[in-house]
A and B are shown apart, each in its own frame.
Chain A
């Protein structure tokens, strides 16, 4: 029993380290790609590491109360929860994490959870811009959850399961079995919702430095900010893995390293798509993004659900 727990702990640690480092490098390389689009050289790929070390290495920090401490903790719990309840690489014990039969619902809840925890922490900081950013973020999130939820409902109806592992298993046997091709409307609704979820342009009004200084984390600094940056990497990685699992057939191969490589390629392309959209379109106002998500993506999501139920 003990050895099973220790083995699971070790596997979880490995899995976490892989996603943390991969996502940090991915964030760094995407920043560099965006810089190339703007005609700049761009920051080094490893810059996110240095920023995190710098923030953890600050000598002073100011607290505003218990919730201010707990805000980044909740945010990190949201990121970890999203990541740890789904398989990263299908078919390997080391990377299946704590996935179980109803994990899809739990993961959807965890995507919300971090934001709500952060809202409480940011609220206690007392800075007027923090709740302003939070209200914008929650409004936008409520809007993109609708097409995302419809896409998920459509997939659940398609395969008759709430388990991410089973959804990935059902997509094996070639690219023609991926949800992206068997249920394209769900894929389109989900991928449009993903744009809002990743908070890049045009849906970056929540944390845009030029709008209201950086939004919810305005007062977060030193180790608080370091923790948020760590979470940003894990949460981004988790969301990309989730979308890869739901729509793009997951990642699997008889060799572990090849399977990880497939995961890397697929998630890289998913993040690249977000960045291409981000580099091409200007920023929406909050009401514009709400109107956008409740328009075409929601209609596509409803079509996806109707097509699966008839």
Chain B
């Protein structure tokens, strides 16, 4: 019954299987046939860039990288879960909850979690609340620059269904239509304890080998890109930001 309902919900959106069941963002339901990503050689068109800039950027889409099997992957997953480096990029008002988490009251360092100033070195992206269309552009860009395996944590109700901005003209309602999300934390705002609980949940997911967001993004690249391009009108960056 639950499965049926899930299938019916996603029949409209084309969302990858296993995505959390929440209200779909109406903006992702439009026609995506006019959004062209690839040329005949299956290389990215990078149509948002000028001819000159196109030479400077990569035109290869992301690839699925199969995990190892058995104990070795389990061991790596354990290390990944015990060394979570947060991308220090306050994407919304919820970023304020990260400060008490870093300092003496909640001290996330004791759980192997620490902030990192560059997307290249980070492994977890905390989307701190509402994501406006303008921020979404930066979120996509930063997410794609992170090296896999990478994880996303949606903080606050705004990332789930828009929250109090559900009918706003420039706020994204549902985050996992644009980038894969591993854990959502409901609340407006969730306290640092809730954020810690979410991070512990993420650790369990990674240890069980279910933290495959990067591969999910690569598998459903066209779907995610179509959704992103539908809301980001001034697309002046490469189609995939290495």
- List the interface of chain A (C-beta within 8 A of B): 31, 35, 38-44, 47, 50-51, 53-54, 57-62, 209-210, 213-214, 217-222, 225
Chain A CB within 8 A of B117 CB: yes
Of the 9-residue stretches B22-30, B39-47, B74-82, B175-183, which lies at the interface with chain A? Answer: B74-82
* Complex CA distance for A58 and B148, rounded to whole angstroms: 6
Residues of B within 8 A of A62 (CB): 120, 147, 242
Q: Within 8 Å of chain A (Cβ to Cβ): is B48?
A: no
Complex interface: chain B residues within 8 A of A50 (CB): 79, 82-83, 112
Please provide the chain B residues from 34 to 65 with a CB less than 8 Å away from any CB of chain A in the complex: 65
- Residue B32 interfacial (CB < 8 Å): no
13 pairs, CB–CB < 8 Å, chain A vs chain B:
A40-B109, A40-B110, A41-B109, A53-B75, A53-B79, A57-B80, A59-B67, A59-B147, A209-B116, A214-B116, A214-B117, A218-B117, A219-B120
Please, which residues of chain B bring their CB within 8 A of the CB of A38? 103-104
What's the Cα separation between A53 and B242 when bound, in Å?
23
Q: What separation, in Å, do the CA atoms of A42 and B65 have in the docked complex?
A: 34
Are A221 and B147 in touch, CB under 8 angstroms? Answer: yes
**Which A-B residue pairs are the 3 nearest by beta carbons?**
A213-B117, A39-B104, A221-B120
Closest to A224 in B: B120
Which chain A residues lie closer than 8 Å to B80 at the CB level?
54, 57
B115 at the interface (CB under 8 A from A): yes
Compute how far the CA of A59 lies from the CA of B213 in the bound complex, rounded to whole angstroms.
13
In the complex, what distance in Å separates the CA atom of A108 from the CA atom of B112?
A: 35
**Do residues B123 and A54 form an inter-chain contact, with CB atoms below 8 A?**
yes
- Verify B79–A60 contact, CB threshold 8 A: no
Contacting pair A54 B83 (CB below 8 A): yes
User: B215's closest neighbor in chain A, by CB?
Assistant: A59
Q: Name B residues whose Cβ lies closer than 8 Å to a Cβ of A.
A: 65, 67, 75-76, 79-80, 82-83, 88, 103-104, 107, 109-110, 112, 114-118, 120-121, 123, 147-149, 214, 242
What is the count of residue pairs linking A and B with beta-carbon distances less than 8 angstroms? 85
- List chain B residues, Cβ under 8 A from A47: 83, 112
Neighbouring A residues of B114 by C-beta, 8 Å: 43
Beyond A57-B80, A59-B149, whether A35 also contacts B109 by CB under 8 A is: yes
Beyond A210-B117, A221-B120, 17 additional pairs, beta carbon < 8 A: A31-B109, A39-B104, A41-B109, A43-B114, A50-B83, A51-B83, A53-B83, A54-B123, A58-B149, A59-B214, A61-B147, A209-B88, A214-B118, A217-B121, A220-B121, A221-B118, A222-B147
Contacts of A222 in B (CB 8 A): 147
Q: Are A40 and B118 in contact (CB under 8 A)?
A: no
B65 touches A59 (CB 8 A): yes
Task: Chain A residues near B118: list those with CB within 8 A.
Answer: 213-214, 218-219, 221
B117 touches A42 (CB 8 A): no
Instruction: Assess the A43–B109 pair: CB atoms within 8 A.
Output: yes
B147 / chain A contacts, CB cutoff of 8 Å:
58-62, 221-222
